[in-house]
Amino acid sequence: MKRLGVDVGGTFTDLIYVDDEAGKVLIHKLPSTPDDPSRGTIEGIKQLAEQAGTTPSELDQVFHGTTIATNIVIEHNGAKVGMLTTEGYRDILHIARHKKPLNFSNYQDLPWQRYPLVRRRYRLPVPERVTGEGEVIVPLDEERAREQIRKLKEAGVEAVAVCFLFSFINDAHEKRVAEILREEFPEAFLSVSSEVLPQYREYERFSTVALNAFVGPKVATYVRRLEDELRALNVRTGVHLMTSASGVATAQGAIDRPVNLLMSGPVAGVVGGIWVGAQAGYDSVITLDVGGTSADIGLAQNGTLRMKHLLDTHVGPYNAMIPMVDVDTIGAGGGSIAYVDGGGIFRSGPRSAGAQPGPAAYDRGGTEPTATDAMVNLGWLLPEDFLGGAMSLRADLARKAFEGVAGQLGMSVEEASMGAIQIASSSMVQSIEEASVRKGYDPRDFALVAEGGAGPLFAAAIAAEVGTPTVIVPPYPGVTAAMGLLATDAVYEYVATTYQRVSELNAQALQSRFEELEAQALAQLQDDGVPSDRCVIQRVADCRYLGQGYELRVDCPSGAIDEAWVAKVSADFHDAHEREYSRRFEESDIEIPNIRVRGIGMMPPLQTPAIEQGDVSPEQGLRHEREAFFRIDGELRQVPTRYYAREALKAGNRVQGPAVINQFDSTTVVPPGFTAEIDRFGNIVITIDALAASQVVGAAEQAAGA
Partner 1 sequence: MSVVDYQLGRTPGPPTRERVEVDPITLRVLGGGFHAIAKEMAGVLFRMSYSSIIRESEDLGAGIFDAQGRELCESDSTPMHIGSLPWYIRGFLDRLEGEIEEGDVIFHNHPYLGASHTPDIAIAVPIFWEGELLGFAAVTAHVLDVGGSFPGINADAFDVYAESKIYNAMRWYRAGELNEDLDKMIFDNVRTETMNRGDCNAMMAACQLGRDRFLRLIKRYGVETVMSSAYDWMDYSENMLRREIAKIPDGEYTAPTAWLDDDARTRGRRLRVETKVVVEGDSITIDVSGSEAEVPTGFNVPFEGSLLVGAYYAVRTLLLDEVTFPEHVPQNDGVFRPVKVIAPKGTIFNPNFPRACFSRFCQVQRVVDNTIIALADQLPQQVTASNSAAIHFCSYSGFVPDTGEYWLYLEVNEGSYGGRYGKDGMDCVDNLMANTRNNPIEELDLRFPMRCDQYELRPEPAAPGKWRGGVGVIRRNRFMVDGTYSCEGDRQWDPPQGIFGGWTGLPASVHKNPGTPSEEYLEAKVTGIPFKAGEYVEFREPNAGGYGDPLEREPRMVREDVLDDFTTIELARDAYGVIFVDERDLEIDEEATRKRREELRASRDGASLSLNDRFRREKGQLLPSSSPASVAANKAFGLT
The residue ranges that bind partner 1 (CB under 8 A) are: 86-92, 94-95, 97-100, 102-110, 113, 119-121, 127-129, 131-132, 137-138, 141, 165-166, 200-203, 309, 433, 436-440, 442-444, 467, 547-550, 580-583, 585
Rounded to 5 degrees, what are φ and ψ at 619? -50, -40
- DSSP annotation of 360 reads G
Q: Residue 670's Cα: distance from chain center in Å?
A: 27
Residue 70 CB, shortest distance to partner 1, in Å, is 24
Considering beta carbons, is residue 443 or 601 the nearer one to partner 1? Answer: 443
* Shortest reach from residue 576's CB to partner 1, in Å: 12
Q: How far is the CB of 437 from partner 1 (least distance, A)?
A: 3
Kindly state the smallest distance separating residue 560's Cβ from partner 1, in Å: 32
Least Å distance, CB 11 to partner 1, is 30
Closest CA to 664 of 456, 446, 430, 404: 456
SS (H, E, C) 427-446: HHHHHHHHHCHHHCCCHHHC
Pair 460, 472: CB distance under 8 Å: no
Reference 3, options 35, 45, 39; nearest CA is 45
Judge contact between 650 and 630, C-beta under 8 A: no
Nearest distance from C-beta of residue 204 to partner 1, angstroms: 8
SS3 273: helix
User: Please, which residue, 133 or 625, has the CB nearer to partner 1?
Assistant: 133
DSSP state of 83: E
Comparison of 342 and 640: residue with beta carbon closer to partner 1: 342
CA distance 334 to 312: 28
CB of 513 to partner 1, least distance (A): 21
Per the DSSP assignment, residues forming a β-bridge with 304 are 301
- Least spacing, CB of residue 100 vs partner 1, in Å: 5
**Does residue 703 sit in helix, strand or coil?**
helix
Count of Cβ atoms closer than 10 Å to residue 562 Cβ:
10
Please classify residue 538 by burial: count the beta carbons closer than 10 Å to its beta carbon, then call 0-12 exposed, 13-18 middle and 19+ buried: middle
Minimum CB separation of residue 691 from partner 1 in Å reads 14
Establish how many alpha carbons lie within 13 A of residue 496's alpha carbon, considering only the half-sphere containing its beta carbon. 18
CB 522 within 8 A of CB 614: no
H helix or E strand, kind and range, residue 129: strand 129-130
Q: Minimum distance from CB of 33 to partner 1 (Å)?
A: 35
* Residue with smaller CB distance to partner 1, 187 or 309: 309
Least CB distance to partner 1 at residue 37 (A): 33
DSSP state, residue 609? P
CB neighbour list of residue 391: distance below 8 Å, 6 or more residues apart = 362
Alpha-carbon Rg for the chain, nearest whole angstrom, is 26
Cα→Cα distances 426→126, 151, 419, 698, Å: 47, 46, 10, 13
Helix (H) or strand (E) holding 160: strand 159-163
Taking the C-alpha atoms of residue 70 and residue 259, their distance in angstroms, rounded to an integer, is 9
Rounded least distance, CB 347 to partner 1, Å: 13
Task: State which residue, 164 or 402, has the beta carbon closest to partner 1.
Answer: 164
Using alpha carbons, select from 475, 452, 470, 447 the residue that is nearest to residue 609: 475
Cβ distance to partner 1 smaller for residue 140 or 215: 140
CB nearer partner 1, residue 126 or residue 245: 126
In the complex, least distance from residue 384 CB atom to partner 1, rounded to whole angstroms = 40
Cβ atoms of 539 and 559 closer than 8 Å: no
Residue 301 or 392 having the CB closest to partner 1: 301
Measured CA to CA, the distance from residue 136 to residue 170 in angstroms comes to 9
State which residue, 186 or 440, has the beta carbon closest to partner 1. Answer: 440
User: Cβ closer to partner 1: 205 or 240?
Assistant: 205
Contact 648, 368 (CB under 8 A): no
Task: Compute φ and ψ for 104, nearest 5 degrees.
Answer: -110, 60
Q: Interhelix angle for 455-466 vs 413-435, to 10°?
A: 60
**In terms of CB distance, is 90 or 236 closer to partner 1?**
90
The minimum distance between CB 388 and partner 1, in angstroms, equals 36
The residue among 138 and 395 lying less far from partner 1, judged by its C-beta, is: 138
Residue 661 C-beta: closest distance to partner 1, Å: 27
Pick between residue 88 and residue 559 the one whose CB is nearest to partner 1. 88
C-alpha to C-alpha distance for 28 and 186, rounded to whole angstroms: 39
Q: How many beta carbons lie within 10 A of that of residue 100, not counting itself?
A: 13
Q: How many distinct helices (H) and strands (E) make up the chain?
A: 18, 32
Nearer to partner 1, 447 or 611 (CB): 447
* Beta carbons of 597 and 539 less than 8 angstroms apart: yes
Which of 119/553 has CB closer to partner 1? 119
Which helix (DSSP H) or strand (DSSP E) does residue 338 occupy?
strand 336-340
Closest CB 297 distance from partner 1, rounded Å? 15
DSSP assignment string, 317-338: TEE--S--B-EEEES-STTEEE
Nearer to partner 1, 392 or 687 (CB): 687
Task: Tell me the closest approach of the beta carbon of residue 273 to partner 1, in angstroms.
Answer: 21
In sequence order, the 6+-apart residues with CB closer than 8 A to the CB of 348 are 332, 336, 337, 338, 339, 371, 420, 423, 424, 427
Nearer to partner 1, 35 or 104 (CB): 104
